[in-house]
Amino acid sequence: MNHRLSSAVAVSGLVWLVACGEDSKPKELGPRQEEAGFAVEGQVVSLDSASQTGPTKLTIAWENWMRDGDIIVSQGSVAVPQSLPSGYSLRLTGAPGPGALNDLGAGAGFLGTGRIAVYQDVNGDDRFDLETEPLRGLSATHIVLYAPTVTPALLSELREWNGITNLDALVPGYQLARGVCRDGTSFDALEIVPSTPASVVSESESDDGCLNYH
User: CA 128, CA 125: separation in Å to the nearest integer?
Assistant: 8
**Strand pairing report for 173-180 and 135-147:** antiparallel
Q: What is the pLDDT at residue 12? A: 29
Element (H, E) at 32: helix 31-36
The neighbouring-strand residues paired with 87 are 43
**Strand pairing report for 201-202 and 135-147:** antiparallel
Output DSSP code: residue 31.
H
Mean pLDDT by 10 residues, the chain (214 residues): 40 27 49 69 96 95 82 94 96 94 91 97 95 96 97 95 96 97 90 96 90 87
Q: What is the pLDDT at residue 70? A: 73
Q: What is the pLDDT at residue 214? A: 79
pTM of the entire predicted model = 0.84
Q: Is 165 helix (H, G, I), strand (E, B) or coil?
A: coil
Q: Is 13 helix (H, G, I), strand (E, B) or coil?
A: coil
